[in-house]
Chain A
Amino acid sequence: MRSDERVFLLGEDIGHFGGAFGVTAGLYEEFGADRVIDTPIAEEGFVGAAIGAAWQGERPVVELQFADFASCPFDMIVTVAAKTHWRSGLAVPIVIRAPNGGGIRGGPFHASSPEGWFVGVPGLKVVCPGTIEDAYGLLRAAIEDDDPVMFFEHKALGSAATVITYGAGVELALGLEHDVEVLDLRTLWPLDREAVLDSIGRTSRALVLQEAARSAGVASHVLALLAAEGFELLDAPPVVLAPPDTPVPFAPELEDAYLPSAQVLAAAVEDLLGY
């Protein structure tokens, strides 16, 4: 949006509220109501309007609040957007973002993965990123594309949790199979407050992992920061995974129990995600 004035957003609750999943958070404040347009509940209407704006050279990006709602503007997408270039030479550069997938207890109308409805429709491009980095690159490419693009973004994409750690904890965290952001602090003091708050702004869940004893390290400072400045960002109480407040024991049974293990970390992340 900073690099192309033609790009503007249409969708339900995407303005001041920042979108049901917070994807457009901050954009209304930066770009204003002319470029982040809150619409009435009318998917046929605003997808159609996006097509019309694209006809006139704009680059609209539509947010469907849930991918399930793609059934409402289906006709606009497959009848108007997909077929227009083939039958007239007029390109329709619109992007329709649609959060798909479950895991949020959304039930039959808020957790579907309807990307298959659009696969095989000539004239449509259907993309679905697997990581945050991919989502950025693919979304940029989709907006620059001259064809209509269905952009399915999984609700859990990057929105799971942040593991804040350093040193040997980084490798342990990177080994997690869960969808987490790993924030490698590198510099422990002064704390990179911005990096911590940015990440929690995306994920809403924090786990601090350290090998230092629970009360003697950086974790307390991260928790203090989250309590003071990140409270509104959190969807769950932050978790600290660290050894107990004792010296390091010698016997293998004791040291193994003392150090955070991959299994304990995985269980803690599981609890945090399930909160």
Chain B
Amino acid sequence: MATETRLELFRLMLLQRTFEERTSALYRQGRISGSLYDGLGQEAVAAAAGLALEEGDVVAPLNRELATHFARGVTPADAFRNFLGRGNGPTFGRDGNMHFGVPARGVFPLVSMLGNLCPVVVGAALAFKRRGEPHVGLTFLGEGAFSVGDVHEGLNLAGVWQVPAVFILQSHGYSYSTPSSAQMVNTNLAERIQGGWSIPATRIDGTDVLLAFESIKAAVERARAGEGPQAVECVTLRGHGHAAHDDARYVPAELRESFIGRDPIERLEATLQQTGLAEQANAVRRAVVEEIAAALAEAEAAPAPDPATMEHGVYAHPL
């Protein structure tokens, strides 16, 4: 894999990790309201999926895929402005944390009802197919989403219509506090999606970012080439609880131990060092720390939303 690609994957993962370490501190300090979600341990999936997309492709990221936003050109300052509820953030202070998207970057705004965006991305892919445009729509599905009817309907439509949609299955073990074994009988999502919906699916170690990138990129290009919907199941372990208020004490120690040594960032950094790229990796680390600090300063200086604008934009065209 090209050096630039490996370094870019490293940078994207680090951006998410550093950003989320910062928001975690801000949350504990009471400087971020509401709730807080992160993707510790899943950064490889988010970075790989984001980087696998091309100009004109669209994506609907969920809770734990900030690196996908960054890969699409959403800036850390954009994201901080949303977490801080600033008036010039992507949701104008109307929604918080990672509940945002940047339509201008082809990123659909996340809704809380996970599973809803599966059919939405299928519809975007349908638009591409109707117009003969060589673009792809991609979204993510966790184990919890597989209990939601909308997901079945979206996957079924994608198959029936043979649209260029790619589904990244985030198998990270838990849906809030519920283990996958209590969500479904067969926890092999790739097997289910291939057998149940006839959508080609592979199952990979989601902590190996190089493997994740190669697998997702291949799926995206198959979809783009007209081979219909594709899926990649990325097996990881959710590093933290569902959200910052959840200490995930219900995760058994043996499961935690089985993921020791599988931090996606450390894994890639080790291979970068082994291939003579230690210096470049360190330069990326320094640049990311600086970028995050500057982005936070920019967001903190941004104006709060003006309550007088609250009713603006309820409609694109008010009657």
Contact = CB atoms under 8 A, between A and B. Distances in A.
Q: Do A and B assemble together?
A: yes
Interface of A: 8, 34, 37, 39-40, 42, 44-58, 60, 75-76, 79-80, 83-91, 93, 122-123, 125, 145-147
Nearest to A124: B315
Contacts of B153: 40, 42, 44-46, 48
A80 B124 CA distance: 14
Interface size class of chain B, counting residues whose CB lies under 8 Å from the partner chain: 35 or more
A8 B130 contact: yes
A52 B116 contact: no
A86 B314 contact: yes
B91 A123 contact: no
A44 B149 contact: yes
Report the 9 A-B pairs with minimum CB-CB distance, sorted nearest first: A52-B123, A48-B119, A45-B153, A49-B123, A146-B316, A56-B127, A42-B153, A91-B316, A52-B124
B206 to A, nearest CB: 25
A61 B118 CA distance: 19
Contacts of B205: none
Interface in B287-317: 313-317
20 contacts: A39-B157, A44-B119, A44-B153, A45-B153, A45-B156, A46-B153, A48-B118, A49-B157, A52-B122, A55-B103, A76-B116, A79-B112, A80-B116, A85-B314, A85-B315, A86-B313, A90-B101, A146-B315, A146-B317, A147-B316
Interface in B148-166: 149-150, 153-154, 156-157, 160-161
Contacts of A90: 101, 103, 108-109
Interface stretch (B92-100, B218-226, B264-272): B92-100
B58 interface: yes
A40 B95 CA distance: 34
A56 B119 contact: no
Given A55-B58, A80-B111, A88-B90, A46 B315 contact: no
Contacts of B112: 79
Interface string B78-113: 000000000000111011000111110000110111
Given A49-B123, A75-B116, A87 B157 contact: no
A159 to B, nearest CB: 28
A45 B130 contact: no
A75 B161 CA distance: 23
A40 B58 contact: no
Given A75-B113, A87-B109, A147-B317, A48 B124 contact: no
A139 B153 CA distance: 27
B199 interface: no
A88 B314 contact: no
A56 B125 CA distance: 9
Contacts of B58: 55-56
Interface of B: 58, 90-92, 94-95, 99-103, 108-109, 111-113, 116-128, 130, 137, 149-150, 153-154, 156-157, 160-161, 313-317, 319
Nearest to A144: B317
A125 B160 CA distance: 31
Contacts of B109: 84, 87-88, 90
A87 B92 contact: yes
A88 B101 CA distance: 7
A142 B161 CA distance: 26
Contacts of B157: 39-40, 42, 45-46, 49
Contacts of B126: 49, 52-53
A91 to B, nearest CB: 4
Given A84-B109, A88-B90, A52 B137 contact: yes
Contacts of B102: 88
A168 to B, nearest CB: 43
Contact of A55 (B91, B123, B150, B316): B123
Contact of B123 (A50, A75, A86, A145): A50
B160 A40 contact: yes
B150 A44 contact: yes
B153 to A, nearest CB: 3
Nearest to A81: B120
B313 A55 contact: no
Contacts of A60: 123
Given A34-B130, A56-B128, A45 B119 contact: yes
A8 to B, nearest CB: 7
A88 B111 contact: no
A50 B120 CA distance: 7
Nearest to A88: B109
A49 B128 CA distance: 12
B127 A57 contact: yes
A52 B59 CA distance: 11
A21 to B, nearest CB: 23
Most buried by A among B157, B160, B315: B315
B120 A88 contact: no
Given A39-B157, A40-B160, A88 B123 contact: no
B316 A52 contact: no
Nearest to A72: B149
B319 A125 contact: yes
Contact of A87 (B94, B124, B316, B319): B94
B120 A51 contact: yes
A9 to B, nearest CB: 12
B313 A85 contact: yes
